[in-house]
Amino acid sequence: NTFMVEKKKTELYQELGLQARDLRFQHVMSITTRNNRIIMRMEFLKAVITPEFLLILDYRNLNLEHWLFNELASQLAGEVQLVTYSLPFEFRAIEAILQYRISKLQGRLNTLQPQILETLEALVDPKLLSVDRSKLHILLQNGKSLSELETDLKVFKETILEILDEEELIEELCLSKWTDPQVFEESTLGIDHAEEMELLLENYYRQAEDLANEARELRVLIDDSESIIFINLDSHRNVMMRLNLQLTMGTFSLSLFGLIGVAFGMNLESSLEEDPRIFWLVTGIMFLGSGLIWRRLLSFLGRHLEPPLPPHVPAVLKKSQPAAGRVELKNNLKAETFGLSRSTLTNQ
């Protein structure tokens, strides 16, 4: 029996026997009891649960309206089987709202996970010499959404854990136990509704914990991928720096032996310019000297940039340790043998 009603706030909290602050909208999550009423706040969703009805306050949202008339009504009526269907009405109402909240959090995680994995796969590519800024922007937005999801999951778990840690709060959530004589009689006969309420809250706490673990794995994956991206960028940067250094050394080698050509290009007369072979001789010396200097500089660069080799362990030390162990084992066996023979003789 689902219907919509519009009332003033003062009339509503007077009819429910609540205070004005109990109906105040707050973007937090909380589950409290007051005057045999359960007040549940799930960010934009706020509900008041009594043993007879469930009141959803201000649902001016299309998605929430769809949930109210198409899903919630059938859940409370038993058309969609709930775990707590055989229990009093407040159990079904609490389970339906918690299930709705968990499904929303699960949907957000299912939307973020493939986007994050696809973006990271595109970024963590060793073939790319540069990082696509558009992908980084998408990853930044998804990272913020993931942080908000982790915060919401943390608040959800803390809210339920506060109730699980207090036995009195769990008892207060069982409204029918204090209003319905039949339910109170069943509780005295051993059907404890407080234990059922505790199991219900623990179930959704575990589901929130599983979602938090998946979100945490995504966060670790993002951090690891960022490290890989930085390593790839550092590797490409080192290659460019090494190439720049090699070109600088080659330029230095050519300019060093180019001084010979500069000396012969001056307006000075000598007997060497009359020989037709001296040009090729000087040019050969210049290129040969420049090549030798460049090779020497490259070998010097390679020795100082390559990582050092691990220290070599002498073979004598490797062989001596097992030998000592075998000698000690033989001595122990001999001692045990002598001890056994001595004790046998004594017994005889």
Residue 205 has pLDDT above 80, yes or no: yes
Task: Report helix, strand or coil for 126.
Answer: coil
Q: Which two tokens stand for residue 346?
A: 């004594």
Q: Which residue has the higher pLDDT, 279 or 333?
A: 279
Q: What pLDDT is stored for residue 36 in this prediction?
A: 83
Q: What pLDDT is stored for residue 224 in this prediction?
A: 84
Cα distance between the two ends of the chain: 96
For residues 289 and 143, give the distance between their C-alpha atoms in angstroms, rounded to a whole number.
57
Q: What pLDDT is stored for residue 321 in this prediction?
A: 46
Residue 283 has pLDDT above 60, yes or no: yes
pTM reported for the whole predicted model:
0.65
Q: Which two tokens stand for residue 183?
A: 């339910």
Highest mean pLDDT out of 130-134, 148-152, 195-199, 278-282: 148-152
Task: State the burial class of residue 104 (Cβ atoms within 10 Å of its Cβ: 0-12, 13-18, 19+).
Answer: middle
Q: What pLDDT is stored for residue 211 in this prediction?
A: 94
Q: What pLDDT is stored for residue 4 in this prediction?
A: 80
Q: What pLDDT is stored for residue 29 in this prediction?
A: 81
CA atoms within 13 A on the CB side of 261: 15
Q: What pLDDT is stored for residue 318 in this prediction?
A: 44
Task: State the burial class of residue 313 (Cβ atoms within 10 Å of its Cβ: 0-12, 13-18, 19+).
Answer: exposed
Q: Which residue has the higher pLDDT, 132 or 155?
A: 155
**Band of the pLDDT at 57, cuts 50, 70, 90?**
confident
Residue with tokens 């930085």: 230
Q: What is the pLDDT of residues 295-336, one digit of tens each?
A: 777 777 666 555 555 555 455 444 444 444 444 434 443 444
Q: Which residue has the higher pLDDT, 296 or 142?
A: 142
Q: Which residue has the higher pLDDT, 66 or 84?
A: 66
For residues 34 and 19, give the distance between their C-alpha atoms in angstroms, rounded to a whole number.
9
Q: What pLDDT is stored for residue 329 in this prediction?
A: 39
Greatest CA separation found in the chain? 129
Determine the average pLDDT of the residues in 46-67: 80
Q: Average pLDDT over the chain, rounded to whole?
A: 75
User: Which range has the worst mean pLDDT, 27-31, 256-260, 341-345?
Assistant: 341-345
Q: What is the pLDDT of residues 148-201, one digit of tens each?
A: 999 999 999 999 998 888 888 888 888 877 666 666 666 655 557 788 888 889
Instruction: Judge whether 22 and 41 are in contact, CB under 8 Å.
Output: no
For residues 259 and 252, give the distance between their C-alpha atoms in angstroms, rounded to a whole number.
11
HEC profile of 247-303: HHHHHHHHHHHHHHHHHHCCCCCCHHHHCCCHHHHHHHHHHHHHHHHHHHHHHHHHH
In the chain the domains, ranked by start, together with CATH numbers, are 62-237 (1.20.58.340)
Q: What is the pLDDT of residues 76-113, one digit of tens each?
A: 876 666 676 677 888 888 888 899 899 999 999 999 99
Q: What percent of the chain has pLDDT over 90?
A: 12
Q: What pLDDT is stored for residue 131 in this prediction?
A: 63
Distances (CA, A) of 144 to 151, 218, 264: 11, 12, 69
Q: What pLDDT is stored for residue 74 in this prediction?
A: 79
Element (H, E) at 168: helix 167-173
